[in-house]
Amino acid sequence: IMYYIAGAMLKVLQNLAKRCDIKYKPILEDIIENACSTKEDAMQMSLPIRKVTVQMNDDKLLYVNKDFFVIVQQVESVFEDLLSVKSIKRYGVEIVRDIAHALCKEDFGFSSLMSNAANEDLLREVIRRFLRSYGNLRGKDFVRKLNARRYVSNEETLRAAIGARQGYTKKEKGGNTNQGSTAVGEPQSRFVRMFVPALKEELRKRKLKVGGKKADLIERLEEFEKKQKELLKDVAPLTGAYEPVEDWETAELLTNIEMVLDDEQLQEHIFYEE
């Protein structure tokens, strides 16, 4: 997937070259030209070239080369390590901007993509703009995926609360008290509603033992999911994995991040032609 992201970032540079102040154009055009390679060269370097192409003015299809791919890979590794809900709560909603700002101090190999000598300050500004664009892309993707998971989590919590309230109301009114072994207020496992063949299929997917009664199969699946959730909580802060969002405080943080990213885009007008 990183090769696809590298292709998208090369497209970002192309768009910058079309709209930027004239003093930046030679640098951007030089980088773009040296960040591409032919399909044959890309195949020799074993790059994942399928479907990732850049259409140039002469209608020749070019591919992101290894040097540019490594640059994007290095930048992504930093965001992957540092961008998490835990980091947002600790360092604030401007963390994406702060990461990009810190990365601006590094060259990442952009100099190797220059055929001609360039003004160091102008090159630094081009690198800064590239990193800010990457941070904006990465930050919005992070927020979108977290919000998607938060919606599912909130929906499941709401269903559980409604079910618990209905059960409590029935008990108050002297309704049917034969609720089986499930305690009032405890959300019923989704596996309980499944038939044995479906349960066994779920066990096979997880490479678990498929023998036993239905109750045994359900217990096995529930235990496996519980362990998976605990494992995710342990490794997510270290790997930058997307963590479930279940509290309104975090939801507000995500909204604030989006506002900061949008504001960053507005402030970038100094890079473009007046």
DSSP-derived letter for residue 53 is: -
Q: Under DSSP, is residue 21 helix (H, G, I), strand (E, B) or coil?
A: coil
pLDDT digits (tens), the chain, 274 positions: 777 788 788 888 888 888 888 888 888 888 888 887 666 666 666 655 554 444 444 444 557 778 888 888 888 888 888 888 778 777 777 788 888 888 888 888 888 888 777 788 888 888 888 988 888 888 888 877 776 665 545 444 444 444 544 554 555 555 544 444 444 444 567 788 788 888 888 888 777 888 888 889 988 888 887 776 665 454 444 333 334 434 444 455 555 555 555 555 544 444 444 3
Buried b (16+ CB within 10 A) or exposed e, 234-270: eebeeebebbebeeeebbebbeebeebbeebeeeeee
Q: Which residues contact 228 (CB under 8 A, 6 or more apart)?
A: none
Residue 274 lies in a domain: no
Q: Is residue 182 part of a domain?
A: no
The answer to whether position 118 is within a domain reads yes
Q: Is residue 273 part of a domain?
A: no
Instruction: Name the nearest CA neighbour of 163 among 190, 137, 191, 198.
Output: 190
Q: Is 134 exposed, middle or buried (0-12, 13-18, 19+ CB in 10 A)?
A: buried
Residues for the chain: how many in total?
274
Give the structural domain span for 229. 1-173+187-268
Domain count of the fold of the chain: 1
